[in-house]
């Protein structure tokens, strides 16, 4: 995305998503995060398992009711959609692509019915012919062909199934797609195919993506901006290149130092940076601060100076 003045399509404000609230096993999966996503961009969300990245994605499309905080999509608060029409429209505008292409398709449904489910629910087809035509178009868009429409999911490979999942998401003409680890279950040679397809669709349809993943090199490649999550908190947000060239938070540095790179010489010289998570729990107030234009780090007031210095010294 080139347009840096694009309007905000999504605003997440002080989102908290707790589970088992008030019980001894309360889980603070997402703990007070704030960030915006601009129209037409790809926002990458990275973090380890348990960091809260998937919960964030699910909270955004309102699969959970937030414990507190606001999610504002195209200017409207997602938890205050008071009419059925508004709710249906929101569900159409925001779609998801899931991680596991084997588990996310109903094995008893034909591909055409899987893809057309959203079309049926939203009454987007005039008649059966129109429905079939739309399904055929969608299958062609994602690189399958119309002969595939009458088959069942088990007849497809992992990469093809993920294409079916993408066609299903596109069927209702969404504006915003949450892709939760959409390529982690695929082989290397197939991953590139799916990523290219996602990029092509974004160009053609002006889609906005929230791309959740743990594969940092792929996230860097596909994202315009990246947010780094850890223990339910957002630690750093920056443009993709900036984040990789000038990581400021210790956790981001540790994460980047651990990415395996297909280059033996680089690997021989690799030094792993350890991260001490206990620093996050020292009881001090921290919030996301803009250290450089568009580069935010979670810091106390005192730490801001330290991060600015880091950025200037390039260390």
Q: How far is the CB of 217 from another protein (least distance, A)?
A: 5
Our CB check for another protein shows the closer of 104 and 191 to be 191
CB of 50 to another protein, least distance (A): 9
Q: Which stretch binds another protein (CB under 8 A): 23-31, 103-111, 122-130, 265-273?
A: 265-273
180's CB contacts (< 8 A; 6+ apart) are 54, 57, 96, 97, 98, 99, 212
DSSP strand pairing (8-19 vs 27-38): antiparallel
β-pairing, 225-230 with 42-46?
A: parallel
Residue-wise burial string across 268-278, b where 16 or more C-beta atoms lie within 10 A, e elsewhere: eeeeeeebeee
- Under the binding rule (CB under 8 A), the answer on residue 205 touching another protein is no
Q: Give the 3-state secondary structure of residue 62.
A: coil
Nearer Cβ to another protein (85/188): 188
Provide the edge-to-edge strand list for the sheet that holds 295-299. 94-97, 176-180, 208-213, 42-46, 225-230, 233-239, 295-299, 287-292
Q: Is 257 in the site for another protein (CB under 8 A)?
A: yes
Does 150 engage in binding with another protein (CB under 8 A)?
Answer: no
Interaction between residue 206 and another protein (CB under 8 A): no
Tally helices (H) and strands (E) across the chain.
11, 12
Count CB-CB contacts under 10 A for residue 266. 10
Out of 33, 111, 255, 297, the only residue in the binding site for another protein (CB under 8 A) is 255
Q: Which of 196, 284, 287, 300 binds another protein (CB under 8 A)?
A: 196
Stretch that binds another protein, among 144-152, 205-213, 218-226, 291-299 (CB under 8 A): 218-226
- Choose one: 11-19, 66-74, 269-277, 294-302; the region binding another protein (CB under 8 A): 269-277
Q: Residue numbers of the site for another protein (CB under 8 A)? A: 48-49, 157-160, 187-193, 195-196, 199, 214, 216-218, 220-221, 244, 254-255, 257-268, 270, 272, 275
């Amino acid at each position: 995305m080139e347009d840096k003045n694009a309007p905000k399509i999504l605003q997440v404000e002080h989102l908290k998503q707790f589970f088992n609230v008030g019980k001894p096993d309360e889980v603070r999966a997402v703990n007070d995060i704030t960030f915006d996503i601009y129209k037409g961009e790809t926002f990458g969300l990275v973090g380890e398992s348990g960091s809260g990245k998937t919960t964030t994605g699910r909270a955004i499309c309102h699969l959970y009711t937030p414990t507190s905080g606001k999610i504002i999509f195209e200017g409207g608060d997602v938890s205050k959609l008071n009419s059925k029409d508004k709710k249906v429209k929101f569900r159409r505008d925001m779609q998801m692509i899931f991680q596991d292409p084997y588990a996310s398709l109903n094995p008893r449904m034909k591909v055409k019915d899987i893809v057309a489910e959203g079309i049926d629910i939203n009454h987007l087809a005039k008649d059966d012919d129109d429905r079939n035509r739309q399904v055929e178009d969608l299958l062609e868009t994602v690189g399958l062909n119309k002969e595939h429409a009458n088959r069942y999911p088990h007849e497809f490979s992992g990469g093809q199934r993920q294409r079916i999942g993408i066609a299903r998401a596109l069927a209702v003409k969404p504006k915003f797609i949450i892709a939760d680890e959409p390529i982690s279950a695929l082989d290397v040679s197939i991953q590139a195919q799916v990523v290219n397809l996602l990029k092509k669709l974004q160009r053609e349809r002006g889609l906005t993506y929230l791309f959740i993943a743990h594969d940092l090199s792929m996230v860097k490649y596909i994202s315009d901006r990246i947010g780094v999550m850890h223990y339910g908190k957002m630690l750093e947000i920056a443009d993709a290149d900036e984040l990789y060239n000038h990581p400021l938070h210790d956790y981001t540095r540790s994460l980047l130092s651990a990415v395996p790179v297909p280059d033996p010489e680089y690997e021989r010289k690799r030094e792993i940076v350890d991260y001490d998570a206990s620093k996050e729990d020292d009881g001090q107030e921290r919030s996301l601060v803009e250290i450089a234009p568009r580069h935010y780090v979670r810091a106390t007031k005192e730490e801001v100076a330290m991060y600015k210095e880091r950025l200037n010294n390039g260390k």
